[in-house]
Amino acid sequence: MPSKAWIHMVRDFCSKETIAYEAYKFLSERIADEELKTMLKKLAEQERKYIEFWSRFLGDKCGSYDAKLLLLKLLYKIFGPAFILAIIEREKEKLVSLYKEVLRHLDGKDREVLEKIIREEEKQERYLLNRLSDVRMEYMGYIALGLADAIVEITGVHAGFLGATSDTIMAGIAGLVVGLSAALSMAGAAYLQAKHGSQVKPSTSALITGISYIASVVILALPYFLINSMLIAFTTSLSGALVLAGLFTFYSAVIQGKNFVREFAESTSLLIGTAAASFLFGQVLGHTFGIEHLKIT
């Protein structure tokens, strides 16, 4: 009789293959490229066979995974098909490693089938990801240009005001003024960058960079107009900056196959370091010019 650990592991394998099957089928119904559509249908059929293989050990179906599938569909609407394929690829890489461990405990026909599954899994998704054209991926660098620069720069401005004065409105206005000027500058830089050697439209690149910058600035400045305490407003704004950095880092880490924790740690370190330096500089200026307790009346 199979152990509970074996049944639990096989059910997990089966569930992951079921989600991959549903994802491939879902994407095949929405991709316009006929070659990609055919490949996705082929992969869905392969996944169906993998499900049948693991289901034999369970004696029943894998189960229902509506919540996870709903989440994938939501992520598709926000981040696009390339993001979904990248997520599946990461899960498949983990699965293949586990399958190789399990392979040692199988023999006969089951071992042959699992060896075939491993070979097929190892060559599936990267081809699709390389073939897929997604506007989100094409312009990801420009979104990053707007988000990353705005998060660091505006958080630095606010940290400087935290050290220099206790007036939240003044800090909020300063963030908006600096942010708008910087957004126009960054949009111009993005336009020139796209115009010289890029495959994307310069005007669209500039627009995306500018919008992502301004959106970040507004989000980070908003707490200063709603909260009277400079420290609480700064803490709230900094939390927003970390969330924004985390979202984009997660997206880029998944798409590029990088380690999210390491990438986020680097982004956070840069953000905190800039904020700390700006705060100290603001304290020096506030003390020098006597504006620590200055308030707009």
pLDDT tens for 180-207 read 888 888 888 888 877 776 667 888 888 8
How far apart are the C-alpha atoms of 247 and 209, rounded to whole Å?
A: 17
Residue 297 covered by a domain: no
- CA distance linking residue 222 with residue 46, whole number of Å: 50
CA distances from 152 to 19, 189, 193, 296 (A): 38, 17, 21, 26
How far apart, in whole angstroms, are the C-alpha atoms of residue 149 and residue 134?
24
Contacts of 205 (CB under 8 A, 6+ apart): 139, 142, 190, 191, 193, 194, 198
Residue 103 lies in a domain: yes
Is the domain of 244 the same as that of 191?
yes
Please indicate, yes or no, whether residues 105 and 157 belong to a single structural domain of this protein. Answer: no
AA letter at 233: A
Q: Answer for the pair 81, 33: CB distance below 8 angstroms, yes or no.
A: no
pLDDT the model gives residue 70: 84
202 and 276 share one domain? yes
160 with 250: CB under 8 angstroms? no
- Structure confidence at residue 50 (pLDDT): 92
Q: Could you read off the pLDDT of 136-150 as tens digits, one per residue?
A: 566 666 677 677 778
Domain shared by 162 and 104, yes or no: no
The answer to whether the predicted template modeling score (pTM) of the entire model surpasses 0.85 is no
State the residue range of the domain holding 227.
Answer: 139-289
Q: Where are the alpha helices (DSSP H) in the chain?
A: 4-28, 34-58, 66-79, 81-103, 108-122, 125-131, 135-138, 140-164, 168-195, 202-226, 230-256, 260-289
Q: Say yes or no: 56 and 166 in one domain.
A: no
Domains: count for the chain: 2
For residue 240, which of 227, 252, 255, 257 has the smallest C-alpha distance? Answer: 227
CATH number at residue 108: 1.20.1260
Domain boundary among 131, 164, 195: 131
Whole-number Å distance between alpha carbons of 28 and 19 = 14
What's the rounded Cα separation, in Å, for the pair 182 and 168? Answer: 21
Low-confidence ranges of the chain (pLDDT < 50): 1, 297
Query: 55 with 29, same domain?
Result: yes
- CB proximity list for 242: less than 8 A, separation 6 or greater: 268, 271
